[in-house]
Chain A
Amino acid sequence: MNRSQDLVRQVLEIVGSRAEVGVYVRTGTSALTRFANSFIHQNVSDDVAYVHVTLATNGKLASGSTTSTTATNLRELVDRLIAVANVQTVDETFPGFGGPVATPAIEHWDAETSEADPGARAQKVKEFVDAGGGLLGAGMCSVDSYVDAYGNTAEREITGRMTRVILDGIHQTGESAGSGHSSGISVDAIDAIGAGQLAGHRARRGVSAFDTKPGRYEVVLSPDAMATIAQFLSGYGFSGKNVTEGMSFVELGEDRFDPSVSLTDDVASGRALGMPFDGEGTPRARVPLIDTGTNAGILHDRTTGKKAGAPSTGHAPVSDESWENKPDGRNLVFEAGNLAEEQLIGQVERGIYVSTFNYCRVLDPKTIVVTGLTRNGTFMIENGVLTDPVTNLRFTQSFIDALGPDQVLGIGADARFAAGEEDPATVNSPSFHLASWNFTGGAEG
C-alpha cells in the first residue's frame, strides 16, 4: 500500500458509517527551475500532499480538501464536511459514487526521474541556454512525480503514478524572440539542445520584423499553436458540462470539420502523459472527439454523464489540474499527416507561419470565436518558403471554422508534445496548413 492509498484508507475509516464518501489523494513532488537573462533565478520544490473529500449524507453533499495529512486534520475536515452537509437539501442530481473498477495497465512513470534532483533540471537548463549560442535564454524546466489514489464507500479502489518533465523556453536577441519546447515522462526524454536550437533559430530569424497588413491569410501553425486550438475545442466544445448546458457547438454526427481532422482524448495512445484515471477514480476511456471531420464523442464525468444518459468517460477534473471544474481533455491527440513542415510551407504561395499563440480568450463559447496574438516567431511565407519576420499579430477567429470543411490544406508528420496556452503538456499535435486565418491588426499598432 502506497502513502496515497494509506491516506484514502484513513479518511474512509474516519468517516465510517456516518456518510458515503469518495476520497482522492495526491502525494509526491512538484519541482521547477526558472531561468531568465540566461541564468537560473528561481528554483522551487513542493512536497505535494493533497486530500480531496466528497461526502454525501442521505443525498446531501459537501466537499473539501486539505494539505495536512495528520490524523487530527483529516478528522477535522471530515467532521466539518458532515456538519455542513447535514444542513443542506438533498441533491437529486448526485449520481452516487462509482463501484469497483480494474486498475488500468497504462502507466506514465520513470523511476529515475521520480528521484531527479535539482542538478538534473539545471543541466537541462544549461543545455538549452548554451544551444542559443549567446542569445538571452529564459524559461523553465519542471519535474513532477505523483502517486495518486482514489477510494470510496462503493468499494472503488484505484491507484496510479506518473512522472512528467517539461522544458519550455525562449531565446531573445533584444528585438526578437523564438520559442522551443520538449516534454516527456523522463528527464532523459527531454531534448533541451534541440529546443534551444529551435528557439535560437526562430529568434535570429525574427530580427528586423515588419508590420504586415491585417486580413485573412493562409497559415501554417506549429504544433504548439495547434495545442491551444485543441484545448479550446475540448474545454468549450467537447466538455460534457458545456454540452449538457446547451453552451457547446457539438452535436454528435455533425460534420463540422474537414475530413482530414481527427482529434482523440487517449491516455493510452503512447502520445500522452498523466494519470490513467480521473478525479472520481474512473479509468480514462479513449474518446474520439472528431473522427475524420465528424463530431464523434463527448467528455463526461459521472454528473454530466447522468444528465446526458451516458456513462462517465473518466474525465472528471483532478484537484486544480483543470482550468475549470468540468470534464476536459487531458490527453488530446491530433492525428498526424504525412508531410514534413517544409512541405506544408512549400504549399503556401503567400501566408504566415505561427510558432505560438498567446493570451487567447474566447469571445463566444458556442462558436469558439477567440481573440489572441502570435508570439515568439511569426514569419511570412512567400512562394513556398519562409521569408521575412513579421511583428506579432492579433487575430479574431473561430477555432471551429478554422478547421472546417475544405479549410485544412495539409497536416504534418511532425507530431509531438506541444505547449498550448492552457497547459504545456496535455496535447500532442502535428503542424497544420490552414486555408484562412483572420488577423485583425499588429501587436504594436
Chain B
Amino acid sequence: MFDRAERGVQAAIDAGATYADARAVLDRTETIEVQNQHLDTLDVDESIGVGVRALVGSSWGFAATSDLSDSGLAECGRKAAQIAAASALVSGPPLVLGDVPVVDTFWETPHIENPFDVSTTEKIDMLVDVTRTMQSVEGVGIAYATVEGWDTNKWFVSSHGHRIHQHLVEAGGYYSAAAIGERETQIRSYPQSFGQYESGGYETIRKWDYPAHAQRIAEEAVALLSAPEMEERETSLVLESSQLALQIHESVGHAIELDRILGWEAAFAGTSHLQLERLGSHRYGSELMNVTADATIQGALGTFGFDDEGSPASCVDIVKDGIWVGTLSGRDSAAVAGLPSGGMVRGDGYSKIPMVRMTNVGLLPGEGSLDDIIADTEDGVYMSTNRSWSIDDRRLNFQFGCEIGYEIKNGELGRMVKNPTYTGITPQFWGSLDRLAGEEEWTHWGIPNCGKGQPVQTAHTGHSASPGRFANVRVGVKG
C-alpha cells in the first residue's frame, strides 16, 4: 500500500503543494451487542482508502478516496492541493512545520489474541450469559452487553521521505443493567459506562472477567431506585478511578490541546482557559497533581508507534507538581507556538484530516489505597462510574453525574445514594486534590469515542488514574 499512498503525495506536490503526506488505511471493526439475551447487533465493518494532506501557504487541503486505482489516487492528490490553494481567498501567515526524524519502519501493537481470531459464537455466548445473569435480578428491565474489536493497518508516507507501516490491535466492551422505575431510570455498568477499551487483543476483555460482576451490577441498579437522593452541599469527594479518568480527559486533556489554545477549534470544540504565556508558571492543581501524555504505555488505548505526521510516540510532561508545563501538539501548531512538536496528531480512518488528539493523558499515582482514603475521610461522599458529563467551551466549568454514590461517615462507607452529581471550576477543583491512591490501583482507562473537529471525528484516548479525593466540592446539584 505504500506505493498507493506515494502516488497521492506525488500528485499533490506536482499540483503545487509545498508539503504533502498520505495515509493508506485499512480498518476492520467487529461490533457485537446483546440485549436481554437477544443478539441485537452483529456488525462487521471495513473501511479502505487513502487520505492525502497538502500544504499550500496557510492552509491544509485534504482529500480522501476509496478509489485505489492510479487515476483515482492521482486525482485525490491533485484535489488536496487544489483545495488548499482555494483557501488563498481567505488566507493567513504561511504555516511552517516542525522537524521530525524521517524513518522507514514497521510497528505493531503487542497482543496475544487478535479479536478477529476469537470465534463470534464464543463472544456472543459470553454476552448472552452476562445479560441472563443480570435479568435474573428482579427489577432489571434492560440488560445490555457489548464487545468490539478493531484491527487497523496504516501506511504513512510523506514528501519528506517517511514510510511507516503500523498494525494497531484494540479491543474492549462493557455491560449495563437498567432498572426502570415509575418516573426514573437507574443504570449500573461494568467495567465502566463508556466501556473499557485497550490496546491489545481479546485478552484485554478476558482479564476483566465479565461474568463475575454481573449479579452485583444488576442488584445495585435495582437498589438505586429506592435509594435516597444525594444531599446538596460542599464536602470531601472521593472519586473512583474511571470517573477520575474522565475528569482528566475533559478538564485537562482537552484544555492542553495546542490547536484549541491557538483558537483553531474556537467555533465548535472551543478554546481553552490556558494562556501560552503562562506555560511553566500557571498552577493547574495541588502539588499531588502530576500529569503526563504518554503514547508509549503498553496496553493503554492512546498508544501507538508513530502519530499520523510520522512523529514517534513519546512521553511528555503536562503538569508537574501542580504546575502546567506541557501541551498536546503537532508539527504545525508547535511551530506556530514556538514549542517542540509533541507527536500527538491523528486522523479518524483514512477519510478525516489528522489533528491534535490526546494520547494517554494520565494522572500519575500517589500512595496508599482507596480503602485508606475512605478511612481517612471523616465526612464526604464516594462516587463511581460516569453517567453524565458536561463542560464549557474553555474547559473551566464542569458538572459530572455518576451512576452510584455512597456517603462517607467517620472513615467508613455509609448508605447508598442515587443521582450523585458534582460541579466545579477546573483550577479550584484540581487545587483541592488532597489524596491520591497508589500504583496498585492505577488503571489505564480507555475512551473510544472522543469527538473533535468538523466533520466530527472520533479518537481512541487513554487516561490512567487511581482513586483520588478532593476537598470542599459542591455535590448533589439538582434540576
> Which residues of chain B are within 8 angstroms of A44 by Cβ–Cβ distance?
61-64, 83, 352-353, 455
Q: Which of under 10, 10 to 19, 20 to 34, or 35 or more describes the interface residues of B? A: 35 or more
**Bound complex: CA of A397 vs CA of B61, how far in Å?**
42
B185 touches A365 (CB 8 A): yes
**Bound complex: CA of A169 vs CA of B351, how far in Å?**
23
> Which residues of chain B are within 8 angstroms of A36 by Cβ–Cβ distance?
263-267
A33 sits at the interface (CB 8 A): yes
Smallest CB separation, A360 vs chain B (Å): 7
A39 touches B91 (CB 8 A): yes
B89 touches A123 (CB 8 A): yes
Interface of A is mostly: strand
> Which residues of chain A are within 8 angstroms of B45 by Cβ–Cβ distance?
64-66
**Bound complex: CA of A117 vs CA of B45, how far in Å?**
31
B180 sits at the interface (CB 8 A): yes
A38, A117, A359: which contacts B391 (Cβ < 8 A)? A359
B397 touches A38 (CB 8 A): no
A208 sits at the interface (CB 8 A): no
Smallest CB separation, A304 vs chain B (Å): 12
Interface residues in B38-84 by Cβ distance below 8 A to A read: 38-39, 41-49, 58-68, 76, 79, 82-84
Q: Which of A132-140, A153-161, A283-291, A406-414 contacts B (4 or more CB under 8 A)?
A: A132-140
B421 sits at the interface (CB 8 A): yes
> A122 with B86: in contact, given A359-B392, A366-B184 (CB under 8 Å)?
yes
> Which residues of chain B are within 8 angstroms of A63 by Cβ–Cβ distance?
41-44
B226 sits at the interface (CB 8 A): no
A40 sits at the interface (CB 8 A): yes
Interface of B is mostly: mixed
> Which residues of chain B are within 8 angstroms of A177 by Cβ–Cβ distance?
266
**Closest residue to B79 on the A side, CB-wise?**
A45
B18 sits at the interface (CB 8 A): no
**Closest residue to B124 on the A side, CB-wise?**
A88
> A45 with B62: in contact, given A373-B390, A442-B397 (CB under 8 Å)?
yes
A118 sits at the interface (CB 8 A): yes
B62 touches A42 (CB 8 A): yes
**Bound complex: CA of A35 vs CA of B264, how far in Å?**
8
A73 touches B67 (CB 8 A): no
Interface residues in B401-429 by Cβ distance below 8 A to A read: 401, 419, 421, 423, 425, 428
B396 touches A398 (CB 8 A): no
> Which residues of chain A are within 8 angstroms of B185 by Cβ–Cβ distance?
247, 364-366
Smallest CB separation, B3 vs chain A (Å): 17
**Bound complex: CA of A172 vs CA of B142, how far in Å?**
46
> A64 with B397: in contact, given A245-B142, A363-B387, A369-B479 (CB under 8 Å)?
no
A73 touches B48 (CB 8 A): yes
> Which residues of chain B are within 8 angstroms of A358 by Cβ–Cβ distance?
270, 392-393
B207 sits at the interface (CB 8 A): no
Interface residues in B183-213 by Cβ distance below 8 A to A read: 183-185
> A40 with B91: in contact, given A46-B351, A67-B66, A359-B393 (CB under 8 Å)?
yes
> Which residues of chain B are within 8 angstroms of A309 by Cβ–Cβ distance?
none
A270 sits at the interface (CB 8 A): no
**Bound complex: CA of A138 vs CA of B260, how far in Å?**
12
A362 sits at the interface (CB 8 A): yes
Which has the most chain B C-beta neighbours within 10 Å: A47, A119, A126, A444?
A: A47
**Closest residue to B128 on the A side, CB-wise?**
A89
**Bound complex: CA of A67 vs CA of B29, how far in Å?**
13
Smallest CB separation, A118 vs chain B (Å): 4
B38, B121, B270: which contacts A87 (Cβ < 8 A)? B121
Q: A41-B92, A136-B266, A443-B392 are in contact. List 17 more A-B contacts (CB 8 A).
A: A33-B87, A39-B59, A46-B352, A46-B455, A62-B44, A64-B44, A66-B48, A67-B46, A77-B46, A84-B44, A139-B267, A246-B180, A371-B388, A392-B392, A394-B397, A396-B399, A438-B479
20 contacts between A and B (CB under 8 A): A34-B454, A37-B264, A39-B59, A43-B59, A44-B63, A46-B65, A46-B352, A61-B39, A66-B45, A67-B48, A68-B68, A88-B39, A129-B90, A138-B267, A245-B142, A247-B142, A373-B392, A442-B397, A443-B392, A443-B397
